[in-house]
Homo-oligomer: A and B are copies of this chain.
């Protein structure tokens, strides 16, 4: 199987505003701690509006949430991710002519992301207005080895001249945050967050200490230059910037190299972030850049070993998948102070908040490839459990914990509660991810020390939210994932997730009973067996919507009595509907931003007979707009699950290239991390038919017609599995760890070394062929 190099490259890339902004995101550098958008070091042209942007994961300022009416308990303050010190700026002057992509002539250019090396490279051959030609190679890296470090390796090669070169390299905290009053998915008004405290020059480095204005967090950034020629640095220091200037002598054909190191430390992690910035800078100086590059590659090599997906016969999808998985490891927080935002660290969309995307879209990926990352994401929730308890009190619950719908440091940031705080399923989502982590790792110790407390405290909210009515347990007045219908009763997704959550609360209780540490926990949170029995009863009696006539699960109690609205008759410019219709208007229709019932089938397929899932899938397919980027991948998975292979592949194709092709038209606000993970899920859970359940793991691979073959890796308990899917056979290889029992096409095998199993037509296996007529997409 030969695959293309792991490089995403644009040659002679476009320089129009649309592409400039898109590329800021597509080529941003991040390591889960710092994120730097791809702004041209030298700047742009007059009149091009942009924000030089860089962020630290988990660092926030507070901003007011303006409520139109002061109803009790509404959120009045939110956290927002903020722009920190800009260290990207490098201006280059050759005998007085300033380099710019917008003057002179670009003879050649390329922009590339090297996904095995973990760097981005811009290469430009430029002819100045007076005819001087030079080649610039600019390599940027946010280091996985040293999370605080961002480097720019700036190589200048004079092609047809010798002369004097002058460089002005910036370090500046006069930054602003992006806002867009017209788009609910962005910050709505300008908010100033960062104030300078001090600017210092020390050992040829500049250090700028800053403080966030309202949250009073400290951030210190340091910048230092190493240059291949001896030169004098001159610093121009201001109260909010330090400009480093120096001259060089260029000789034709002789490359000159400058490395700009930038380190960032914040008071969320470090007691003294100024001191730490100096330590981090010194640390970066101890090893040559080439060695840092090697460490970067090693880190990624280990990553790819665990998660690699290879697709033979569809280079585009192969590359896009790589790209997506690369963005996920770039974006995910590496410590308990951070999580992974819908836009990662590539933009300010959704104000940098963490949502359920983490648990339902992204963790299913990490849990089976890099479970330690999943564990870290759960630890983030554990660290914020007390704030989730506070949040539950705010919402009226006297006991238990309700996680915020959107947050950075753990406090709720949702302003319009019907589409935010009302999404109680967040509790079930977090429980689901903990259960999945346990199923994949059997890490009971983690459950004992962190997971169980979350699961019990969040389960309590279901009992206080729902009530028995006519013998069944109803959950009223909550909002499911589909925000085109808000504050409904018995949302199928919510109820089935709550049921699973409550059942596992009971299971964990009896699994852990008797363990001394567990007794301490039950005492701490005053959990009794009686309460566990009430959990079990609610789970047993959980009301799940079902319509006999259509043989489907309606999205909620009243979904089917609402008006129908033929999506095909809605003009294209009316999408996304949320940008063109009052929410109340949308609530009145059977129309979905994403179909949460279909999502529930993916997560908990055993809750319904196949036929109900199929009928529902076909029902919701007609009324789902996919205005949410969380939608396509799930339809792909469920189409595959239900034997509609062609359709599954079409959904997958839209999902996997959503950002690379900017299919939602808003990638300039940031990548869509949940969809990126979703595209992985579409391959592994969708085509591969992988499932992780209490009974073990199972596979039922199908092969899209235009693919020759594909492979993926799974990490399960202490084992690493490799799965290859060929036209005639599936090859399962135990790459390391213990032998594992696996279920393939419903039949159990013991995977000790390598298993070759004839490829089944999964659709035949899974369903009656007569049912496969899912219709065209």
Contacts and interface: CB of A to CB of B under 8 A. Distances in A.
B416 A477 contact: no
Given A394-B582, A469-B561, A561-B489, A188 B70 contact: yes
A289 interface: no
A655 B316 CA distance: 73
Nearest to A472: B561
Contacts of A394: 582
A313 interface: no
A238 interface: no
Interface string A389-406: 000001111000000000
A184 B582 contact: no
A69 B184 contact: yes
Nearest to A474: B561
B417 A467 contact: no
A179 to B, nearest CB: 10
Contacts of A587: 476-477, 487
Interface in A550-591: 557-558, 560-563, 578-585, 587-588
Given A476-B558, A486-B487, A558-B489, A416 B71 contact: yes
Contacts of A562: 467, 469, 476-477
A418 interface: yes
A75 interface: yes
Contacts of A582: 71-74, 394-396, 417
A389 to B, nearest CB: 15
A581 B72 contact: yes
B585 A396 contact: yes
A144 to B, nearest CB: 35
A422 B486 CA distance: 13
A528 interface: no
A404 to B, nearest CB: 13
Given A487-B418, A558-B476, A584-B477, A467 B71 contact: no
A470 B561 CA distance: 8
B583 A72 contact: yes
A67 interface: yes
A562 B72 CA distance: 21
A486 B487 CA distance: 9
A324 interface: no
Interface in A102-144: none
A65 interface: yes
A420 B562 CA distance: 21
Contact of A583 (B417, B476, B578): B417
A706 interface: no
Contacts of A579: 72
B486 A585 contact: no
A160 interface: no
B72 A588 contact: no
A609 interface: no
A583 B71 contact: yes
Nearest to A578: B72
A69 B353 CA distance: 14
Contacts of A395: 582, 584-585
A545 to B, nearest CB: 12
Contacts of A419: 69, 71
Interface centre among A182, A183, A419, A487 (most CB of B within 10 A): A487
Interface in A588-603: 588
Contacts of A72: 578-583
Copies of chain A in the complex:
2
A184 B67 CA distance: 10
Contact of A467 (B66, B181, B563): B563
A579 B72 CA distance: 6
A465 interface: yes
Contact of A70 (B73, B75, B181, B418): B181
A314 B440 CA distance: 78
Nearest to A588: B477
A558 B545 CA distance: 14
Interface centre among A65, A70, A474, A587 (most CB of B within 10 A): A70
A555 to B, nearest CB: 13
A421 interface: yes
Contacts of A477: 562, 584, 587-588
A516 interface: no
B416 A68 contact: yes
A342 interface: no
A415 interface: yes
Interface in A182-217: 182-184, 188
A420 B583 CA distance: 13
A588 B66 contact: no
Interface in A413-466: 415-422, 465
Contacts of A487: 418, 486-487, 584, 587
A588 B477 CA distance: 6
A181 B67 CA distance: 10
A584 B70 contact: no
Contact of A588 (B417, B465, B470): B465
Contact of A418 (B74, B188, B418): B418
A571 to B, nearest CB: 13
A67 B70 contact: no
A744 to B, nearest CB: 44
Contacts of A580: 72
29 contacts: A66-B66, A66-B68, A67-B188, A68-B68, A69-B419, A70-B181, A71-B419, A71-B578, A71-B583, A72-B580, A72-B581, A72-B583, A73-B583, A73-B585, A395-B582, A395-B584, A396-B584, A397-B585, A422-B584, A467-B561, A467-B563, A469-B562, A476-B558, A476-B563, A476-B588, A477-B588, A486-B487, A487-B487, A489-B561
Q: Which 10 A-B pairs have the closest CB atoms?
A: A68-B415, A66-B66, A396-B585, A73-B582, A467-B563, A477-B587, A469-B561, A69-B416, A70-B184, A69-B184
Given A70-B184, A487-B584, 11 more contacts: A66-B67, A67-B68, A68-B74, A70-B182, A70-B183, A71-B184, A71-B583, A72-B581, A474-B561, A477-B562, A557-B558
